[in-house]
Structure 1
Amino acid sequence: MGKEAARRRWARVAWAYGLLLAFGVFFVGPFLMGFLASLKANPLEWPFTLGFAQVSPKNWAAAWRLGREGAGDPWLGGMRPGRRVALEVAYFFPGEEAPSLLAQIPRRKPGAGMGAVFEAPYAADFVRLGGPKLLERRPFRLGEAEGFLYRYRLELAYEGAGPYLERVPLDLEAPRGAVLVAATLDPTRFERRGRVASWDNAVPGLLGYVFHNYVRAFRETRSLETGESLFLRWTFNSFLLALLKIATTLVFASMAGYALARLRFPGRQALFLFMLFSMMVPGQVTFISNYLVLRDGIFGLSRLFGAETLLNTYTGLILSGLVGAGAVFIMKQFFESIPKEVEEAALIDGATPVQTLFRIVLPMSTPALGALAILTFQGAWNDFFWPFVVLTSPREIYTLPVGLLSFRSAYGQVGDWGLILAGGFFSMIPVLILFAVFQRYFVEGVSVGAVKE
């Protein structure tokens, strides 16, 4: 009987963990697929394959070596004056005569979308291409076909003086019937029905090859006036606004929540009910009135400080969202779970309500404050609608979600979805890190703050 009960218990445990694993795969699977697609040169390829050039260790080692030889930078690669880089390719060809390969460095603009508006040096004007030089010929079998394997060597030489080149594109055209079977670095794509092997950058470096779309997001989205990276600026703006929102939310929500939980004053219950009612009103209902208030500078008061309007300013964005009713509600519920005897002991010792809050209650509220900080950061980091309304120009003041919208018009029209996907995936990373690091505070804050003793 005991063995049968144990067997049923372990069966239930297996079902429970199997179900959790299935849910994990179901929810994490699209996340993982999105990340892998952001690494591909063509994220829309079908059928979707998990084995592609950017995840091959062989290509990692080659990209590292080529970046180091081309610019002395194995991470981001490129090419500098006085450097030489050699690549090898191997073609299968059924004929006994070596196929004639045509190699060239195309005058391809280093960037698309936003990057296309900037003048940049062409690698074709500075880099000399040597080869292809035949190194080896030996019998080879490809599937059912028999023929010969021809191995070639190409050399890129940057002689004389010149600027640093972020990338060196390379096209290699083979005759009909020749099949590329190996290369020092796998090409980015094939064109003309496989006859042309094309490299967007023959000296990419490790990060420049594996995270090519991410590197482009930082390099190509530059300001027309200053030349600084807009993507980096948008990321900094989002961090700054999120941290300010956390600071104001924790301060005001703590004080307001403590007042509603412990202090007795006329209209306290009505104020709490009004706060609950405000939580039921969507922001889209009040955004026009809030927009007009910011446009007029909070009823003209901003003119006292020399500002005609608070639109297109971080001041207006921060003042319009100092604290939310939901944050006050969370802190109120948590403060009510703290035994009153602790505060009464502080009052006996002569502490004022303000001293009790900051010296006694808040140090005990770490779980609630941690959970509130995580939720506030997530909301501020991902906030799109209100910053999109308030911050319209210049582009340097955009937050990251608003800036990513401009990617669609700049890159979506030319089908460059890899960069759009990389920007969107990058915007998720800070929130994932925050949840992973502060998960304990989040779980404790939600479980403790939800119960009133």
Structure 2
Amino acid sequence: MMASMPAAEVSPSRRRLPAGALRRRQLAASAWVYLAFLAVATIMAGTFVLAFIASLKVDPLERPFRIYFDQLNPAAWVAAARLGREGAGDALWGGLAPGANVHFSVTYAAPADARIVEPRAEIPRRRPGSGIAAALMRHYAADYASIALRSSSSATKQARDKRGIRQGWQARTFVYEITYRSDRHNGPWIERTPVNLTAPTSQTLIDSPISPSRSERRGRLLSWDNITPGALGLIFNNYRRVISETADLQTGKSLIGSWLGNSLAIATGRLVLTLVVASLAGYALARLKFRGSRLLFAAALFSMTIPAQVTFVSNYLIFRDLSLLNTPWSVIVVFVASANVLLMKQFFEAFPREIEEAAIVDGANRFLVFYKIVLPNAKPALLVNAILAFQGAWNDFFWPLVLITSPPEALTIQVGLLSLRRSFGGVQGDWGLVLAGAFISIVPVVILFVLFQRHIVSTEFAKGTT
């Protein structure tokens, strides 16, 4: 007989751990996973919040990037509300109306040996935004308002320079008054009241109710796009401009509402059609065995590997021959049979066959089994497919750009954002407006996820099968 071999020693890593130690390891692993997800969520939310803050700024591309500015400064909100109330009696959205009498002050500082002179103030005839906004603008504040200096006062201040040496500085405050001219008492309400102040480079602006929109000519020219904005007009100026300046040149109607409505109609139509096609096709592929079913499934898989750019010419010609170009239906039907069919097929294959067989024994036909038993229990898969279909249709850019080209009010929000970038982001450099339009476009998708995300993670059917 062979000598018995000594039992191999059990490695420390394979020793059975006590229940308490194993539980502590599981809790530690869960904690690390939770912290990892929390870090990722914090980074993503931080990026989202930072981009939203940038959409409020006059210049989102400024360097260095400031977190604290007038749109986030409560003191500036109060000053903007006062100016808006004096300009048009509206503390929220401001403006300039007949009978306006607006007072605002600016304080300049200069070294003790320099002389502070009165800045030259004017209300320029400035056209806002792009050519579209300028073409729609009928009234300018310069034609109805006047600006004049009412008072000034001087003071001496002590401050330390860069070397830490205490020096005396002189400061002078100028109070200006903007009035709606009496000969224009029947004039219109004007949304913007721009103001320019020109002063020598030896004196520096150190205080004003709201900060100037830009500084030009090496600081000599300080420019305010609107000195009577109102509190909300100051904070959400870019968003207001998206609504007012994206307009049709012929009708003057704002296009942003039409773009959002078109995207919503297309996304809803594709959602409904996708659920119908995906549920029926997925159930047929999962349960019905017929000649060529495997070949049909392979063809469906292969079609999903072909980029849309390869077949868009043939699809375009088909839609043209069917007279569907420049209609929402062309964009709705283009992507109804995609990966959603595979998701539904996988769900139906995991559904217990015994339940269906019991219903068939009781006399139900295949369609009744699908409609009364299988489909009500497929709510998790249907909800996931609905959200994916809605999001895909809402964010779709290529097919709406190709299939819907006119009129301007027939565009979707994503294609409309392209016109914003061309009009404001290129030569204009007005990226705040473009960023505000992008944030408006993502609001429906964010609301969709907030309302339905808990149904994706946990459902009654999932609880019943665990």
Using the size of structure 1 for normalisation, the TM-score is: 0.86
CA contact (8 A) 2:86 2:101 kept: yes
What residue is the counterpart of 1:427 in the other structure?
441
1:443 pairs with 2:443: no
What residue is the counterpart of 2:171 in the other structure?
149
- Name the CA distance, whole Å, in 1 between partners of 2:364 and 2:26: 55
Sort the Cα spacing of 1:351 and 1:61 in 2 relative to 1 into closer, same or farther, 3 A: farther
1:317 pairs with 2:315: no
Worse overlay, 91-100 or 243-252: 91-100
Secondary structure of the structure 2 residue equivalent to 1:365: helix
CA contact (8 A) 2:81 2:92 kept: yes
Cα deviation for residue 152 of structure 1 reads: 2.7
Worse overlay, 428-437 or 326-335: 428-437
- Name the CA distance, whole Å, in 2 between partners of 1:139 and 1:10: 65
- Name the CA distance, whole Å, in 2 between partners of 1:54 and 1:346: 63
Sort the Cα spacing of 1:5 and 1:243 in 2 relative to 1 into closer, same or farther, 3 A: closer
Secondary structure of the structure 2 residue equivalent to 1:354: helix
How do 1:119-134 and structure 2 match up within 5 A?
A: 119-134=137-152
The one of 302, 305, 308 aligned to 1:277 = 302
What residue is the counterpart of 1:64 in the other structure?
81
**Counterpart amino acid of 1:32?**
V
- Name the CA distance, whole Å, in 1 between partners of 2:249 and 2:23: 70
1:373 pairs with 2:386: yes
The gaps in structure 2 that reach 5 residues or longer are 1-16, 162-166
Worse overlay, 389-398 or 329-338: 329-338
Cα deviation for residue 397 of structure 1 reads: 1.1
What residue is the counterpart of 2:108 in the other structure?
91
What residue is the counterpart of 2:396 in the other structure?
383
Sort the Cα spacing of 1:367 and 1:165 in 2 relative to 1 into closer, same or farther, 3 A: same
The one of 414, 420, 442 aligned to 2:428 = 414
Secondary structure of the structure 2 residue equivalent to 1:413: coil
CA deviation string 1:245-294 (max 9, x = no partner)? 11111122122222222334433333222222222222122111111111
CA deviation string 1:178-235 (max 9, x = no partner)? 2222211222122222232211111112332222222211111110122111222212
Secondary structure of the structure 2 residue equivalent to 1:414: coil
Sort the Cα spacing of 1:345 and 1:417 in 2 relative to 1 into closer, same or farther, 3 A: same
How do 1:24-423 and structure 2 match up within 5 A?
A: 24-95=41-112, 99-134=117-152, 136-144=153-161, 145-158=167-180, 159=182, 160-297=185-322, 309-321=323-335, 323-411=336-424, 412-423=426-437
- Name the CA distance, whole Å, in 2 between partners of 1:20 and 1:325: 30
CA contact (8 A) 2:56 2:235 kept: yes
Cα deviation for residue 376 of structure 1 reads: 0.8
Worse overlay, 106-115 or 31-40: 31-40
Cα deviation for residue 348 of structure 1 reads: 4.7
Secondary structure of the structure 1 residue equivalent to 2:314: helix
Quote the sequence identity (%). Answer: 47
Sort the Cα spacing of 1:139 and 1:6 in 2 relative to 1 into closer, same or farther, 3 A: farther
**Counterpart amino acid of 2:196?**
D
Which has the higher Rg, Structure 1 or Structure 2? 2
Secondary structure of the structure 1 residue equivalent to 2:117: coil
Sort the Cα spacing of 1:384 and 1:89 in 2 relative to 1 into closer, same or farther, 3 A: same
CA contact (8 A) 2:193 2:228 kept: yes
The gaps in structure 1 that reach 5 residues or longer are 298-308
- Name the CA distance, whole Å, in 2 between partners of 1:59 and 1:384: 39
**Counterpart amino acid of 2:388?**
L
Paired residues, number = 436
Secondary structure of the structure 2 residue equivalent to 1:388: helix
Cα deviation for residue 241 of structure 1 reads: 0.7
What is the aligned-residue RMSD (CA, Å)? 2.9
Cα deviation for residue 30 of structure 1 reads: 3.7
